[in-house]
Structure 1
């Protein structure tokens, strides 16, 4: 057994018409995040530190739906959420309803380590962030022109836009750059196992466009969007309500625990059988260093690497190396 890591930047109806330069930029970003995680594991950092670090970097990238790139609620505000879990001990922390915290994943870890609780939300989570001295900014920091435009389009179409939903073009043709897939941003996550056998999972998101204020998705729900135990670590992405109904992340672990499935068998069953097509993707690693990254959507931004030299970066079913 050696170290292994996998990460995602969201799953959904990702357009294959994405211009080549923008596709390459996404691939380069995934490679950068992967290298950060690999370097951490190579230098013997704990898996929990590695997944937090990788997700922090993803949160700081404006093209993914977490942290800086978080999409807007129906009132034009942000409500970020995150979760982190250490599989070997099942210690975990989660946060929701954040409006000023730069890196929600780090606040989730502080909830795990500095409180007797697992989950803090809204004003309580914001108060805790200030008490702990984590970096905060004015909420306007998260209101980007692209996200304002996405919210405008969603309101005009009178719909809620989930991860990577294509904006509806006017008159059958859109001149808006958001329609080419460049700004179809999604939930982020990372899972890892280190050389000491520690498993960890971390997930962060800004929800989905035009969601009701106060809606909480799958990301911070233990066993839905995020889960880890002594068998595996899982981070899911896609349509939160579908993921919560299927308890996606926990079901992968349960199939391994109670049915004796391999990680790939368990994840494939959950993605292909338990959740309707077009709703979910996940990344997972096992205690033996196995990796899997299945999805039943058009695509999923994803990357992985193992100590024995295997690596993969992909968006659709075809892979980039």
Structure 2
């Protein structure tokens, strides 16, 4: 008769990494006074509210503008295939209790890898990123009507939201942001450079440079041409620009070459109609992004206006 094993149950590296991430993130000290805006069962929301001022500002602005949250099971594909970037109701899968249960009871599950994969399938959307898309429409001027002009406008808006993703990663820091990125609570981890620790003015110049790099990447400019373009539009800051290029080009090529293009091709008319209705009473003129991105000027003013809202 075989003896029953008393050793710990072995599992895959994927499951081990998941458990380590959850253990680390649950160890973050939560400020209960900051938890009043936490979303029920949204994973690690209280932790992020405690760690990041830009995360708190985003939530505050979203709620002030009438935003609301709806706990529903939502997959990555259903979210990415949605045409509505303008709905003020954001859906999310309420998974936090399930994630914590998995951490404590994974050895009781027949196949822990299947459980972790299932949890990950329904936890791929950063509400911070989605909130900021909605907040941004109120800060942007009116959008143009023609497809090419409108898609440039959308890419500019996306580059601004991506910039806020960078800020969140920097504020959360290198200890926790990689785990939160793997959990998809945020999309970009802290940068390996040190501009976040420099003066507010230097950090802002770095963010403007990273925003421009993200925009060029979304516009499918050849990567080897981007450093020269950046040095042209933002001269006199070569070190900042060098680091901003490296950070900006970490943007997923799956997103720039596939997801973003397919979404715009499929939904640009519906998006333009929705945004036109949203901006119907706006006193601002229609904003046309320059066909030549070397002519960026007013776009940096708009970006600074956004950073004023989020960073002060």
| TM surpasses 0.5 | no
Pick the structure with more helix per residue.
2
Q: TM-score, normalised by structure 2?
A: 0.29
Pick the structure with more strand per residue.
1
User: Which structure's relative contact order is higher, taking Cα pairs within 8 Å and 6+ residues apart?
Assistant: 1
Bigger Cα Rg:
2
Q: TM-score, normalised by structure 1?
A: 0.29
